[in-house]
Amino acid sequence: MDEISKMSLNDFMEQSSVVPILHPGDIVKGKVIQIRDDYALLDIHYKSEGYLPLKEEKLVSDKYRMPSIEVGEELEVMVDRINRNDEVYLSLEKLLANRLWDKLRKAMKIEEILEGDVVDIADRGLIIDLGIKAFIPIYQIDTSFVKKEDLHKYLGKTLRVVITKINEKQGTIVASSRKVLEAERERLKRETLEKLQEGVKVEGEIKRIIDSGAFVDIGGIDAFLPISEITWSRIKNPLNLLKVGDTIEAKVIKFDKENERVTISIKALTEDPWKDIDKKYAPGDRVTGKVTKLMEYGAFVELEEGVEGLLHVSDLSWARVRHPKDVVKVGDLVELAIVSVDPETKKISLSLKQLLPDPWENIEEKFPIGSKVKGEIARFYDFGAIVNLNMEEGIRGLLKPDEVSWDYNKDKPFAGLRKWMILEFQVMDYDKENRYVILSRKRLFPNPWEGIEEKYKIGSLVEGKIVRITNFGAFVELEENLEGLLPAREITWEKVSEPTKLLKKGETLTLKVINLDKENKRIALSLRQTKPSPWDELKEKYPVGSIVEGKVKNILDFGVFVEIEKGIEGLVRLSELSPAKRVDNPNDIVSEGERVNVMILSYDDKKRKVSLSIARAQEKIEEEEMKKYMEEDAKPITLGDLIGEQLKKIKEAQVESE
Residue 49 pLDDT > 50: yes
Residue 461 pLDDT > 70: yes
Domain 3-98 has CATH 3.40.50.720: no
Same fold, 196-269 and 452-530: yes
| Main-chain dihedrals φ then ψ at residue 496, nearest 5 degrees | -115, 125
Domain 196-269 has CATH 1.10.3720.10: no
Give the model's pLDDT for residue 1. Answer: 35
CATH number of 111-181: 2.40.50.140
Decide: pTM greater than 0.75: no
Domain 277-355 has CATH 3.40.605.10: no
pLDDT tens-digit map of 499-557: 888 899 999 999 999 999 887 788 999 998 888 888 888 888 899 999 999 999 999 98
User: What is the three-state SS of 156-209?
Assistant: CCEEEEEEEEEECCCCEEEEECHHHHHHHHHHHHHHHHHHCCCCCEEEEEEEEE
Residues whose CB is less than 8 angstroms from the CB of residue 32 and which lie 6 or more positions away in sequence, other chains included: 40, 41, 42, 52, 69, 70, 71, 72, 73, 74, 75
Give the model's pLDDT for residue 109. Answer: 93
Give the model's pLDDT for residue 54. Answer: 84
What are the structural domain ranges in the chain? 3-98, 111-181, 196-269, 277-355, 363-444, 452-530, 534-656
Class of domain 534-656: mainly beta
Number of residues that make up the chain: 658
pLDDT tens-digit map of 283-330: 999 999 999 989 999 999 999 888 999 999 989 988 878 899 989 999
CATH number of 452-530: 2.40.50.140
Residues whose CB is less than 8 angstroms from the CB of residue 437 and which lie 6 or more positions away in sequence, other chains included: 363, 367, 373, 389, 395, 396, 397, 398, 427, 430, 431
CATH topology of domain 363-444: OB fold (Dihydrolipoamide Acetyltransferase, E2P) (2.40.50)
Give the model's pLDDT for residue 482. Answer: 84
pLDDT tens-digit map of 434-456: 889 999 998 998 888 888 888 88
Residue 335 pLDDT > 70: yes
The residues facing 263 across adjacent strands are 224, 254
- The answer to whether the beta carbons of residues 60 and 131 sit under 8 Å apart is yes
Give the model's pLDDT for residue 373. Answer: 94
Distance CA 487, CA 464 (A): 14
DSSP letter for 643, please: H
Which one, of 545, 616, 608, 528, lies nearest residue 576 by Cα?
A: 616
How confident is residue 170, by pLDDT bands cut at 50, 70 and 90? confident
Neighbours of 395 (CB within 10 A): 22
Sign of the alpha-carbon dihedral angle for 309, 313, 319, 323: positive
Residues whose CB is less than 8 angstroms from the CB of residue 645 and which lie 6 or more positions away in sequence, other chains included: 625
- Beta strand pairing status for 347-351 and 307-312? parallel
pLDDT tens-digit map of 587-604: 988 999 999 999 999 999
Residues whose CB is less than 8 angstroms from the CB of residue 189 and which lie 6 or more positions away in sequence, other chains included: 219, 220, 221, 260
